[in-house]
């Protein structure tokens, strides 16, 4: 491995070993105290490489400046510190497979688990690369510690050179995985004209379109009475909640039957008992009218069940979560074009596919800081097969350097 590869690999494995899992059920900010362990380490490492204005905000974000050597727009680079709550993230033991031979990768802590190019086709392109995985019982957390490693490595190399670059702002955010990565103070604290998240997958991915997202909560209040004397009186909330679920389009609008540009209505949680039930949903679509239509379908299902049982009380509340960043970016493609040109400078053909999800950039863009998403190389996220190529991370590092170089004027 080259010195740059060694640095990326060392940073990634160091950050991945620190548990930073976020927690949706926590009301605090950041949602988990453990994220601050990594935040404090990053503050120290940013100071060591000579970054300026390094600080840890009260909402748990780490901010820093790479002073410019030339005029140009102030550009932000972001990555998130937390890992997904959906899979075990405690005790991550990253390991490096040097010079991958193209065969099956086994895991020391879980003999049943195998990573192959059949399971993860992108792996077939990475023969000879250095591959980082976890040990079999946890996720790796390359999502998004690869982004942090890329930004810190690029920042160090930029600070060590006097080649032209505009002022760059760096931000490492907590709680992206639970949709709370962008505090309302972040856009002003970042102070960037536009920004990029390094939170994408395969080399070449430059994404500027995400889902538009709403959340919905349905409550069902039944009539509770002793089951022995319930005839003609009991209204069972569980039965009615089940009817609402059954009334939704199962074959066309669920995550497990949709892909590409199709959105969905996804029941994420159902809790309660015979007297009261609560169902939580996420609604997703790339277009606002499609999103509104999904809300109407959910409301209609609730209304139909309510009409069939007037003694019940059914409510349906829908609230906005984030919006497709394309609505803003298509009006001014400067940040996207800059990243695409910088990629082509490196011989990388940019590809833009819509993200079936959201990023910190979705919220930031909506809040006035246009923010496309860039590749890091990460694959098979949020599970035990998560892996990344060190050489892919090196390409992402070159992309950040290239964006800074291209943005410098005069
Ligand atoms: Zn991520």
Task: List the catalytic residue out of 45, 143, 144, 176.
Answer: 176
pLDDT at 410: 56
Active-site option among 7, 45, 82, 285: 82
Task: List, as one string, the DSSP characters of 87-135.
Answer: S--TT---EEESS--SS-EE-TT-TT-EE-TTTSGGGGGGTTS-EEE--
Furthest-apart CA pair in the chain: how many Å? 85
**Ligand 1 mean position, distance from CA 240 (Å):** 37
Hey, what are 372's tokens?
A: 């496309």
Q: Average the pLDDT over 86-110 and give the result.
A: 97
Show the tokens assigned to 271: 């809790």
Mean pLDDT for the chain? 96
Q: What is the pLDDT of residue 188?
A: 98
Model pLDDT for residues 204-237, shown as the tens digit of each residue: 999 999 999 999 999 999 999 999 999 999 999 9
Residue 35 and residue 180 in contact, taking contact as beta carbons nearer than 8 Å:
no
User: Around 11, how many Cα atoms within 13 Å sit in the side-chain half-sphere?
Assistant: 27
What angle, rounded to 10 degrees, do the helices at 3-16 and 390-407 form? 110
Q: What share of the chain is helix, strand, coil (3-state, %, to 5)?
A: 35, 25, 45
Q: 198 CA distance to ligand 1 centroid (A)?
A: 8
pLDDT digits (tens, 9 = 90+) for 189-204: 999 999 999 999 999 9
Specify the pTM.
0.91
Cβ 313 vs Cβ 218: under 8 Å: no
- Is 6 labeled as catalytic in the residue annotation? no
Residue 143 has pLDDT above 80, yes or no: yes
Ligand 1 geometric centre to CA of 219 (Å):
31
> How many whole angstroms from 144 Cα to the centroid of ligand 1?
5
In the Cβ-directed half-sphere of 126, how many Cα atoms lie within 13 Å? 30
Picking from 368, 323, 79, the residue whose alpha carbon sits closest to that of residue 197 is 79
**How many Cβ atoms from other residues are within 10 Å of residue 149's Cβ?**
29
Q: Provide CB contacts within 8 A for 28, sequence distance 6+.
A: none
Return the closest-CA partner of residue 60 out of 33, 41, 84, 90: 33
CA distance 56 to 244: 45
CA-closest candidate to residue 138, choices 207, 83, 177: 83
At residue 257, φ and ψ (nearest 5 deg) are -125, 15
* Ligand 1 geometric centre to CA of 235 (Å): 43
Cis ω before 30 (30° cut-off from 0): yes
- Read off the pLDDT band of 146 (50, 70, 90): very high
Say what the pLDDT of residue 1 is.
81
Cα distances from 315 to residues 38, 278, 280, 303, 343, in angstroms, run: 41, 10, 12, 9, 49
pLDDT at 94: 98
Cα dihedral across residues 375, 36, 191, 183: positive or negative = positive
Query: Residues 154, 400: contact at Cβ < 8 Å?
Result: yes
pLDDT at 409: 76
Q: Report the alpha-carbon distance of residue 229 to residue 232 in Å, rounded.
A: 9
Mean pLDDT over 247-251 rounds to: 93
Ligand 1 centroid to residue 177 C-alpha, Å: 7
Nearest to 144 by CA among 403, 378, 390: 378
Tokens standing for residue 390? 């060190």
The 10s digit of each residue's pLDDT in 24-77 is 889 999 999 999 999 999 999 999 999 999 999 999 999 999 999 999 999 999
């Amino acid at each position: 491995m080259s010195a740059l590869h060694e640095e990326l690999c060392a940073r990634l494995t160091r950050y991945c070993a620190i548990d930073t899992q976020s927690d949706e059920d926590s009301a605090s900010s950041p949602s988990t105290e453990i994220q601050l362990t990594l935040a404090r380490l990053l503050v120290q490492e940013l100071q060591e490489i000579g970054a300026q204005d390094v600080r840890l905000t009260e909402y748990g974000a780490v901010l820093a400046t790479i002073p410019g050597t030339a005029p140009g727009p102030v550009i932000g680079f972001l990555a998130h510190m937390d890992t997904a709550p959906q899979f075990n993230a405690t005790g991550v033991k990253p390991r490096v497979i040097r010079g991958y031979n193209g065969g099956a990768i086994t895991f020391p802590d879980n003999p049943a688990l195998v990573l192959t190019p059949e399971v993860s086709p992108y792996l077939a392109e990475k023969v000879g690369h250095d591959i980082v995985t976890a040990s079999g019982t946890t996720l790796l957390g390359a999502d998004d510690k690869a982004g942090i490693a890329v930004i810190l490595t690029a920042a160090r190399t930029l600070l060590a050179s006097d080649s032209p670059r505009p002022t760059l702002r760096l931000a490492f955010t907590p709680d992206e995985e639970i949709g709370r990565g962008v505090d309302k103070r972040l856009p002003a604290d970042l102070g960037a004209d536009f920004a990029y998240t390094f939170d994408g997958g395969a080399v070449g991915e430059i994404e500027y379109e995400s889902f538009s997202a709403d959340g919905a909560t349905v409550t069902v209040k039944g009539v509770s009475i002793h089951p022995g004397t319930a005839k003609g009186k009991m209204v069972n909330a569980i039965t009615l909640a089940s009817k609402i679920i059954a009334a939704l389009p199962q074959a066309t609008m669920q995550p497990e039957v949709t892909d590409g540009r199709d959105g969905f209505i996804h029941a994420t949680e159902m809790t309660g008992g015979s007297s009261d039930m609560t169902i939580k949903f996420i609604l997703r679509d790339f277009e606002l009218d499609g999103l509104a239509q999904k809300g109407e379908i959910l409301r209609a299902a609730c209304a139909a069940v309510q009409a069939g049982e007037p003694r019940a009380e059914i409510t349906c509340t829908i609230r906005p979560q984030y919006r497709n960043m394309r609505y803003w970016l298509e009006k001014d493609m400067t940040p996207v074009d800059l990243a695409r040109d910088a990629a082509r400078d490196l011989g990388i053909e940019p590809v833009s596919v819509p993200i079936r999800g959201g990023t910190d950039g979705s919220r930031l863009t909506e809040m006035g800081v246009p923010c496309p998403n860039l590749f890091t190389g990460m694959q098979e996220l949020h599970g035990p097969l998560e892996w990344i190529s060190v050489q892919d991370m090196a390409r992402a590092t070159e992309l950040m350097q290239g964006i800074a170089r291209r943005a410098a004027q005069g």
